[in-house]
Amino acid sequence: ETGVTQSPTHLIKTRGQQVTLRCSSQSGHNTVSWYQQALGQGPQFIFQYYREEENGRGNFPPRFSGLQFPNYSSELNVNALELDDSALYLCASSLGGADPKGTQYFGPGTRLTVL
Amino acid sequence: AQKITQTQPGMFVQEKEAVTLDCTYDTSDPSYGLFWYKQPSSGEMIFLIYQGSYDQQNATEGRYSLNFQKARKSANLVISASQLGDSAMYFCAMREGTQGGRRALTFGSGTRLQVQP
């Protein structure tokens, strides 16, 4: 069983640029959630996709957007990058409504640095 | 108000001893789930243990157990027989409501555990 994978591992961008991060969910999982983890803090929920539809959103501006594809992989797009966007971006997959516990399994993360 | 509070920024424990990491939570939803994750320096969040709000018994997974005190709204993680590889950040997280995997997780600020030989 393949776990959650993310690409790229590291990324360096400059302020104002746009970035796309990618995530492949664990086999059989139809739900993907994205989190932002600033240095020294716990992860903060950005949004979640369930069967290709956005299923909830945290307190992040519209320049954070996403997609989920028919194979349940997902992208996180961030436009007009700001210095505060520098963080570890974590993707997590889960079984959606089929798992009453709601356990989310995380990928290794993408570390984004904005200069 | 903080939904998940972890009051210990850092903890030290001797190898082979037990350690308790504290977590308190705040919710008005009668249905919720509590999770503990381990985050080594590599960054990946590793799921350790789950406790549901309606579970009658404390959860256990190998050397990990969860001391669930519902009235106190606490969900402390107990690691028995600590190993050097247990050195990492530990996060407590909560999922509110039903529909399990279609709910976001709210995380605490974490506790850094260092196991000393």
The one-digit pLDDT tens for each residue of chain A (115 residues) are 579 999 999 999 999 999 999 999 998 899 999 999 999 999 999 999 999 999 999 999 999 999 999 999 999 999 999 999 999 999 999 987 778 888 999 999 999 999 9
Alpha carbon distance, N-terminus to C-terminus of chain A = 37
Percent residues over pLDDT 90 in chain B: 90
Asked if residues B95 and A102 have their Cβ atoms less than 8 Å apart, the reply is: yes
| Mean pLDDT across B103-109 | 93
**Helix (H) or strand (E) segment spanning residue A90:** strand A87-94
| Mean pLDDT across B48-74 | 96
Instruction: Say what the pLDDT of residue B97 is.
Output: 82
Instruction: Say what the pLDDT of residue B1 is.
Output: 63
Nearest CA distance, B93 vs chain A (angstrom): 9
Instruction: Say what the pLDDT of residue B101 is.
Output: 62
Alpha carbon distance, N-terminus to C-terminus of chain B = 38
Tell me how far apart the alpha carbons of residues A106 and B34 are, in angstroms, rounded to a whole number. 16
Nearest chain A residue (CA) to B53: A101
Tell me how far apart the alpha carbons of residues B53 and B96 are, in angstroms, rounded to a whole number. 10
Which pLDDT band, with edges at 50, 70 and 90, does B28 fall under? very high
Tell me whether A5 touches chain B (CB under 8 Å): no
Asked if residues B32 and B96 have their Cβ atoms less than 8 Å apart, the reply is: yes
Beta-carbon separation of B35 and A88 below 8 A: no
DSSP secondary structure of A13-62: E-TT--EEEEEEPPTT--EEEEEEE-TTS--EEEEEEETTEEEEE-S--T
Asked if residues B31 and B95 have their Cβ atoms less than 8 Å apart, the reply is: no
Nearest chain A residue (CA) to B100: A102
List all residues 6 or more positions away from B4 whose beta carbon is below 8 Å from its beta carbon.
A42, B23, B24, B25, B26, B92, B93, B94, B106, B107, B108
- A39: number of Cβ within 10 Å: 8
Instruction: Say what the pLDDT of residue A20 is.
Output: 98
Strand partners, A33: A48, A92
